[in-house]
Structure 1
Amino acid sequence: MNRRDLLLALGGGGLMLSACDNAELEHAIKIGMSTPANATHNGVYAWIGACVEALRAQNWPVRIYPNSSIGNERDRVYQTQLGLLEINETGGDEIGRWSPLAHASARPFLINSYDHMNRFLADTPYLEQVSRDLDRHGLRLIDVAHTGSMVGLFTRGTPVRTMADLRRLRLRVLSSADFSLLQAWKVRGVQVAWEEVAQALQSGMVDAYLNPPNIAPMFGHGSVLDYFTDLRMGPAGRFIVVSTKWLAQLSGDQRQALETAFAAGRSANRAWINETISRDRIRLEQVGIEWIDLSDEQRGEWMRASAAIPPSRWDHPDATALYNRWIEQTRETSQ
């Protein structure tokens, strides 16, 4: 969808969001998502669902639009910038192009656990600094919602333990960070939109993709995947952003109520990830996907290869150095 078509679809109060009463929609807080509204299996919805519950308890009308029903990543970010969508969840590519600090967080094998990630978010000014970067683009970063156990590799037909195993396969990629990873790993990749991944796996267009272990069962990929290699590349997360145009219209009391709702979302998401980690392996085995553990030596090969990821057009040395310093400051000495 180009910008002209998007503006036409969004104009006049009908919005393209839903065929609902215009007056109700005008005053509702609209929340966009790319994933299903499933609080059991979707960490983003665990965050958003708790936030919405807190808002509705304060008599705020809210409408949720899951499964990219109001547009893809770029469309939803653009709507949020315009203030047509108040709250949105998105991937790192969409905000990394505007925030070198956010882009730096795409590097794998830097954060060791979700405890480490939580300390990083709570004990450093990361969220505030990224929000300053995004402010001129009409966005504020609220949180990074955890979406599953640490990122690993799903494959069809072939178990993967080494880089040589993967180099015989085609990896699904999409973002600029993915393409940089391909260069470092020296593997083949095919650009495939997420909505087309199942078909690409079935047809043999791709053989593998990177994601946390709960993703395959959540999207029904158990029938087209056979193995999950537990690379533990880093936390899986989605960025929760809000429209600064909308925030500027709120009173002090309204903004305080909103912050309370955001805190409820954050708390629910952190509780959700602890439960999810304990059941992810069982869920994969239930849908017929074998879990592959790596030795420290085997995982070390992936870490060394990832250290050679080339800089991209969005990299900024000062931001990367700052990010790495905060990572080390929040790392426990026992890790």
Structure 2
Amino acid sequence: MCQHYNLLPLSKVKGYLHKNVLDLPADRIRIEDWRPLLETLQSDQGLQKIAIRSAHRGQAVVEFAGTKEKAARTRKCPVIFTAYVLHKLIASMVKCLSINNNLIHLELQGIPLTFKYLDALLEGISKCKTLKFLSFIDIPFGDDGTGRVCRVLRHLPNVASVNFTACGLTPLGMQHIANLIKTQKIKRFVETWQQSLRYQRPNLDSLWGLRQITLNTNPLIGDEGMKILLEGLEDDLWIKGIEMSGCGLGIGAAKELISFLQNSYAISVIDIRGNKGVPVHLIQHIMLLLAKKTMHYRSEYQWNSWSSTSHQPMVQSRFLGQTTEKLRNQQRSRTKELDDSSVPMRGVHTSTIKQKQCCQAQSKLKS
């Protein structure tokens, strides 16, 4: 395609293509480079990960730049923010999502998705049956956009992880997420019941649906949003990880979380770091509850993240900065200390017995 347009392939585009990964710094792509790139993208069937990133936060779409000539004259922002390029990008991604049976990871960061573009993209996402990881980072579509995504995910059981980092969520957006969890929970209970009718033992970890929800850097969620989320997670046996770093949580949310963890079965990873309203002793209490729950339990399904080095799914397990292995090492060191401290005691006890035996022998000889 580059030869057809007499262009050189961009090194920033080719970086991870040998690993079937397209990691695109959208701010650095010129207007003349977008056409061959998008034509290749819309017909691709081999990519496993697509990540399109922009570092320009809060930049609105330049709607009047709807043609190539007007987009080329735009100087105040990268051309990705013009209506012309953004429309072409979304159209190409929709076609790729519809025909690519290898794509498992889609990540958009800082892309200005208004509802018009978001709805078009979600139409393509709904047709992709292999997608497992879906990330929207620094895309402030708010509660309404979150609701639109959640309505699509209700009927997309293959997605195991969803990321709404810095998307402007409030308790209303948390209600959309809680409704999604409840809907999937009912469907999975039905499937579990159907498996039990066939004299099978239902494998909870093998069922479809969400396992990880990331909600970092949404400071308007607050304690009310946490309460709504925990109500949705009640009696859920499948959600494994929740990340809510920097979400405006306080003492009330921490206490609700402690009460929830004492009765919860499945959830094993919760990240509430970066919430200044949560005292340290409550974080430590939550950390210990998580450690006790997961010390002797190994799930058949472990929620995944994408490695930036190998671009392959990797198992990741965090207990607020302290892992199970560290806890086990601490337990071993304490046991060793106790054993070491007990050695001299045993020695004193043995020598005392020997002294008594010698005294008894001497008294018998004298008599």
Into which bin does the TM-score normalised by the smaller protein fall? under 0.3
Q: Which TM-score applies when normalising by structure 1?
A: 0.28
TM normalised by structure 2 equals 0.26
- Larger relative CO (CA 8 A, sep 6+): 1 or 2? 1
